[in-house]
Structures are given as structure tokens and as C-alpha cells.
Structure 1
Amino acid sequence: MLLSTQIVFVRIMLQVCISNIHSFVLSTLDRAFSWVGINAGHGRAVRFAQTIAVNQRKADTLETPIPTSVNYHFTRQCNYKCGFCFHTAKTSFVLPIEEAKKGLRLLKESGMEKMNFSGGEPFLQEKGDFLGKLVQFCKQDLQLPSVSIVSNGSLIRESWFQKYGEYLDILAISCDSFDEDTNKLIGRTQGRKSHLDNLYRVQSWCKEYKVAFKINSVINSFNVEEDMREHILELSPVRWKVFQCLVIEGENAGDNALREAERFVIGDQQFQDFLDRHSDITCLVPESNQKMRDSYLILDEYMRFLDCREGRKDPSKSILDVGVENAIQFSGFDEKMFLKRGGKYIWSKADMRLQW
């Protein structure tokens, strides 16, 4: 209660300061242009002041988004080389775990209900122990309703479930094809290991250790004609998230990119045709490019929000430096689109009533 009161007080003081600055600028410019007797200049001053006033009214009425659901990509490192990856290994940086926990606590205090850990491949760091400790912290210490992970599944071991499974609500495994050769063409593979064998193995562990199982698929030029219904029905995920291949400047497209995703791109109609083919799958959740760009709150390895609206990732300052409320203003997050795409759903395994 004390913290909320302090936040409200700070907001009021900031608004008063901004209003005073606005009045001072208008008055000063008006006197300056009147003094030199230039009517055209005076007109510019008035228009400039009017613009400030409009922006101020927008700022006064703009509500700070609540970080209800946050995706924390705490590492960019990965053991796969998916050709369309849009969060590539541009750095090897990972925050010290105590700093990461500090940021997670700040997010909880700002209204976070769901934390999703991703990468890169999140199980790479300390063989999954770093991830496990964060999952346990979010569920046990922060008491978050939902904690989830997105992984390629290749590095997960049963021992991880034995140690941390009780703290995890949802585990999503990325799988773009049920044909091993297609997965290899995409780059979703490592050596001779079978991605599909890993997928089915992890699904069985999720059932045994009472973790909701989810599948993420990126639809692209290599798999857009595939019929996945039989396998999806057999695996029976709680959600099957189906993404349209997305191009992000500096990540999988452009001069400084580590991937070249152009050859994976499909058109809107191709994506819709795939969705139509699988329309009888009740757990399917489609995500077009437009929905993806501005309806996710994404934190990078430095705990900076990433704004993807312009087709690139523009970072805010770190929430560890400026706080959540300040940083989230630069996230590009569209809360209405988040709700429209079904971003808020039954995400706590305690409420899912699953038959384990």
C-alpha cells in the first residue's frame, strides 16, 4: 500500500512539473517572438506550444500498460540453427541470477501474473539449473499464478522434472514439422539426434510430472503444405501455438543479421490455408505477423523491453536501471491486441483440471 501511494505521488509531481514547463515554454516563446516583432515567428511559437499541449494531454490520459504476461529471453545462445530464428545469438551475456531475480520481483510488484522463460535455448545455461532456480523463485517466492518455458526440448532431462517440475505450469516445445528431413532443412536439429524423439519423450515426462504440455510451430515455406493433424491429436497439447514466419531486421534479415529468413517467408493467404487445413484442431491458437509484433512484452538478456513494431527490435532501458513503469513505455506493447489474440487464458495448471 505504501509503495502504491508513493508511485501515485511521484506521478502527480511529474505531471505538475511537466505542466509548469509547458506554461513556461509557451510564455517565453510568446514574449521572445513578440519582442522581435515577427508575426510568422509568433505563429510558429503558438503552433509549437499547441503541439506540446496535445502531447501533454495524451500523456495525461495514457495509462501505463500492466505487464500481466512477460517473456524473458534471458539467453540468446542456442544449440539449434533454425533459419528463421528472430532472437539470435548476438551476445552471450546472461545476467547474474540475483540480478535476474531482482528484475523478476520488480515485474511482480508491477502486476505480472505470468512469466515465460525463453531464449535462445533456456536449458543451455548451467545444464538447466539456472532456469530451474528462476522457475522455482517465480512460483515459490513470487507466488506467480503461471510460470512457463519455451524450449526446443533437446537438452531436457527427466532429472530436471524431478527437481523443478512442481514449480512449472506449462512447457512449450518448438516443433515445426513431423518430418525429420524437414526439421533438418529448417535447422531444428543437432547432430544425429531426433527432434521428434525428444518431443515425444518430453511430452511423456510432462504427463508424469504434472506439467501442462504445449507445442509451438512456425509455419514457413518448408512446412506450409504439411498436414500435422494426426500428430497433434496424438500428442494432445493444451495449446498448439501456430506462428507465421516473421522477419525482424538485424536478427534474421539485413546486413547485420545472423540468419537469412527471406527464403522461409510465406504470404498471408498461405498461412490462412494452413490454418484452414487444421481448423478442426480445437487447441490451435493462430498468430499472424501483425499479432506478434505488438502484442508481446519481450525482455532481452539485459532486461530491456523490445519494441518490434517497426520490423526491428528497439530496446528500452533496463528495468533494473529505470524501473518497470518507465521502461514499459518504450515496449510498443498493445494491450488490446494482447487480449484480442487470446493472450490471457487459463494458464495456471491448478486451474486446468487436466487428467494426468
Structure 2
Amino acid sequence: MRLIHHPVLANYYVTYRCNAKCSFCDIWEKPSPYIQLEDVRQNLTDLRKLGVNVIDFTGGEPLLHRQIDQFLEVAQELGFITTLTTNGLLYPKWAERLKGKVDMLHFSLDSADKTEHDTGRGVACFDFVLQSIEVAKSLGERPDILFTVFKHNLDQIERVYNEICLPNNLMLLLNPAFEYNQVETGAQLSEAELDYLVTFSKQKWVYMNEAFVKLRKDGGNHVDKPVCKAASTTLVISPENELVLPCYHLGAQTFPIKGKLYDLYKSKEVKELIALEGRLPACEGCTINCYMQPSFAVELNSYWWKALPSTLKYNLRKGTWRKMLS
């Protein structure tokens, strides 16, 4: 049973450019422009009319955009919940201008071992993450640590939690790695390893959506009975100011926005593509977290119930439930 019939999230790519070269990501390989402030203002207004309440300014590395603080300010003025994830390289320089503008600020950290983390990210950013934590704390900010989980770094979860998160009163977000396009992430986590993540996530200040685990155990999305509601829950806007459907990672079709995002999203051709969400051949077996999370939130089923406890835990901790209710 569908509970919410409007999109709830916008993944707004400010640029595909990145100052890291993560082995499990290909975004940094793309040439890319930067989004324009006037387009952001119009698109955010239309997103509000469409019912969206969360804006994820993403990339690439979003802090490479020189106007990122202005985008966040406009989003907050319109009442959106804002989220941003960074590798930490530029955060110390941006911190003062970002203060109070990001509701869910995530620092990517995949190991307590400097060499292991920097190797995976393709750039020396471990020390910048630690510096970013200190700077954020000094400004009264409450960032989270986003830990992308692979087989090879499972043993690092407890160290990151005990050595970095607990001493700094930070939430640890466990993000099981997923494959897409031609990007490989190594051997997939076994059921026993997935069960370990669920058990670990029961500790205080640890978040992991248990529906992610259920989906993986179920073999991912199935085109004959799709779990994925990517296109109807999430709008993806590219740095070229295009609407990307059905999701960024599949990117089957793009539509120039031209200042008319609301009308475009309501158009017949977009509705026809939305109707194919989760049903295209490339959707079979998909487990992409950033589209499954909103999918779990809008339809009452077993995934909704699995996602509920962790969703409540995180939003109560962060205080974002207030904006959600409003």
C-alpha cells in the first residue's frame, strides 16, 4: 500500500568533479560544469511545490562549488532538510560559511587506519577528516561518520566506532557498498557479515537501515515485483540542469529543465518513464542504497517495517523529525 504519493528527496548534483579518486566510484572520471545559483533558486521552489522535503547537495565533491553555502541557505529558507557528504579535504576552509546550514553533515571515513582509508579514496584525506571533526565540533556542529562497508574493512568498523565516533559523540552510519554500471566493489558481503552489521547497528549512535540487509538477502530489486521507487520518490538534477531518470546510476534519459521543473516532472513523457521505475532490465538485482532508502519510506510493506526503527533512531538523534513533521 502506497503511503506517500509525491517525491520526498532531491539528489542535486552540484558538480561531478571530485578531488578524490575513490576506487568504488566513477563520478570523478566525468567532465562536468557547475550548477548555477539562479537555476537552484527556481528548481528548489519547484521541488517544494512537488512535495520534496529533503535536499541532498552532492557530487563529486560538493565543496568544490564556490557557492555551495548559498545553495544551502536558499534550501533552508524554503524549509528543506539539507544534507551534504564530504571527504573532508575542503571542509576546514568552508566550515564557518556552512555553520548551521547543513542538517545532516556526513564525513566519509572507511577505516581507522590512515593508509587503508587513503588508499581506498585515492587521495590523502584521513587527516583532513579528523581535522574536520575538530573544526565542526568547535562550531557546535554535529557531523556523522559515513562508513562505506566492504569485506576488506569489516574489521575496522569497531575501531572507527570506539576510537573516533564515541570520543567525539558522533553517529556512525554504516553504508553497505553496492555495485553499479561497470564499477565493482569486490566480493559481496555474506549473510553472516550482513547479520554482523545488523547486530553492530543496535549499539548507541550507530545507524544502519536493516531494510538494506533484507533487500540484499532477497537478491535485490526484482523487475517483476519492484521494491525500487526511485523515480517517484527521488528527483535527480544534474550539473547540466537536467532531470535524470529513472535514477543517476542508470541515467537512461535526461530532460533539460529550462526553469520549468514542476511542469516537466508532471509531463506525460516523464510520467511514462516514472512508471517503469524498478522494471527496466538494469534494475534487476539492484541494491543502490541512495534510492532504496526513500523507496522503503513511501510504501507499507516488509521493507517499511524493517527500515522504521533505524529511521526513528537517526532522526530522533539528529532532531530532523521536527522539520519532517512541519
TM-score, normalization by structure 2: 0.70
Q: Which residue of 2 aligns with 1:198?
A: 128
| 1:285 is aligned to 2:220 | no
Residue 323 of structure 1 and its aligned partner are, at CA, apart by 2.7
Q: Which residue of 2 aligns with 1:324?
A: 265
8 Å contact 2:23–2:122 — kept in the other structure? Answer: no
CA distance change for structure 1 residues 169 and 112 in 2, over 3 Å: closer, same or farther?
same
Residue 207 of structure 1 and its aligned partner are, at CA, apart by 2.6
Residue 350 of structure 1 and its aligned partner are, at CA, apart by 9.4
CA distance change for structure 1 residues 294 and 273 in 2, over 3 Å: closer, same or farther?
farther
1:132 aligned counterpart, secondary structure: helix
| 1:338 is aligned to 2:297 | yes
Q: Which residue of 1 aligns with 2:31?
A: 91
| 1:243 is aligned to 2:175 | yes
TM-score, normalization by structure 1: 0.64
CA distance change for structure 1 residues 174 and 108 in 2, over 3 Å: closer, same or farther?
same
Q: Which residue of 2 aligns with 1:8?
A: none
Q: Which residue of 2 aligns with 1:263?
A: 186
1:120-131 to 2 correspondences below 5 Å: 120-126=60-66, 130-131=67-68
* Aligned-pair identity (%): 15
CA distance change for structure 1 residues 277 and 80 in 2, over 3 Å: closer, same or farther?
same
For residues 121 and 203 of structure 1, what CA distance do their matches in structure 2 show?
17
1:278-317 to 2 correspondences below 5 Å: 279-286=202-209, 287-288=212-213, 290=220, 294=229, 297=234, 299=236, 300-301=238-239, 302-308=241-247, 312-317=250-255
Tell me which amino acid in the other structure corresponds to 2:296.
M
Q: Which residue of 2 aligns with 1:137?
A: 74
Residue 113 of structure 1 and its aligned partner are, at CA, apart by 1.7
8 Å contact 2:244–2:251 — kept in the other structure? Answer: no
8 Å contact 1:106–1:323 — kept in the other structure? Answer: no
Q: Given the alignment, which residue of 60, 85, 90 partners 1:150?
A: 85
Q: Which residue of 1 aligns with 2:102?
A: 168
For residues 90 and 271 of structure 2, what CA distance do their matches in structure 1 show?
32
8 Å contact 1:139–1:167 — kept in the other structure? Answer: yes
Q: Which residue of 2 aligns with 1:17?
A: none
Tell me which amino acid in the other structure corresponds to 1:236.
N
8 Å contact 1:86–1:246 — kept in the other structure? Answer: no
Residue 98 of structure 1 and its aligned partner are, at CA, apart by 1.0
For residues 134 and 328 of structure 1, what CA distance do their matches in structure 2 show?
28
Give the count of matched residue pairs. 271
CA distance change for structure 1 residues 111 and 196 in 2, over 3 Å: closer, same or farther?
same
Q: Which residue of 2 aligns with 1:230?
A: 162
Residue 328 of structure 1 and its aligned partner are, at CA, apart by 7.0
Q: Deviations over 1:220-276 (max 9, x none)?
A: 132123333313322322x43212211111xxx1xxxxxx42436434443332443
Q: Which residue of 1 aligns with 2:280?
A: none
2:155 aligned counterpart, secondary structure: coil
CA distance change for structure 1 residues 233 and 315 in 2, over 3 Å: closer, same or farther?
farther
Unaligned runs of at least 5 residues, structure 2:
222-226, 278-290, 299-303
Q: Given the alignment, which residue of 56, 61, 69 partners 1:116?
A: 56
CA distance change for structure 1 residues 210 and 63 in 2, over 3 Å: closer, same or farther?
same
Tell me which amino acid in the other structure corresponds to 2:199.
D
2:91 aligned counterpart, secondary structure: coil
Residue 154 of structure 1 and its aligned partner are, at CA, apart by 0.9
8 Å contact 2:10–2:234 — kept in the other structure? Answer: yes
Unaligned runs of at least 5 residues, structure 1:
1-60, 254-259
| 1:106 is aligned to 2:46 | yes
8 Å contact 2:177–2:185 — kept in the other structure? Answer: no
Q: Which residue of 2 aligns with 1:216?
A: 146
| 1:82 is aligned to 2:41 | no
Q: Deviations over 1:278-318 (max 9, x none)?
A: 54244322344649965672513334244359x73434534
| 1:178 is aligned to 2:106 | no
Tell me which amino acid in the other structure corresponds to 2:142.
A
1:263 aligned counterpart, secondary structure: coil
Q: Given the alignment, which residue of 272, 279, 284 partners 2:195?
A: 272
Residue 211 of structure 1 and its aligned partner are, at CA, apart by 2.8
Q: Which residue of 2 aligns with 1:69?
A: 9
8 Å contact 1:218–1:244 — kept in the other structure? Answer: yes
CA distance change for structure 1 residues 207 and 223 in 2, over 3 Å: closer, same or farther?
same
1:123 aligned counterpart, secondary structure: helix
Residue 63 of structure 1 and its aligned partner are, at CA, apart by 9.3
Q: Greater relative contact order: 1 or 2 (C-alpha under 8 angstroms, separation 6 or more)?
A: 2
Q: Which is greater in Rg?
A: 1
Q: Which residue of 1 aligns with 2:283?
A: none
For residues 318 and 330 of structure 1, what CA distance do their matches in structure 2 show?
15
CA distance change for structure 1 residues 83 and 177 in 2, over 3 Å: closer, same or farther?
same
Tell me which amino acid in the other structure corresponds to 2:178.
L
Residue 337 of structure 1 and its aligned partner are, at CA, apart by 1.0
CA distance change for structure 1 residues 241 and 94 in 2, over 3 Å: closer, same or farther?
same
1:112 aligned counterpart, secondary structure: coil
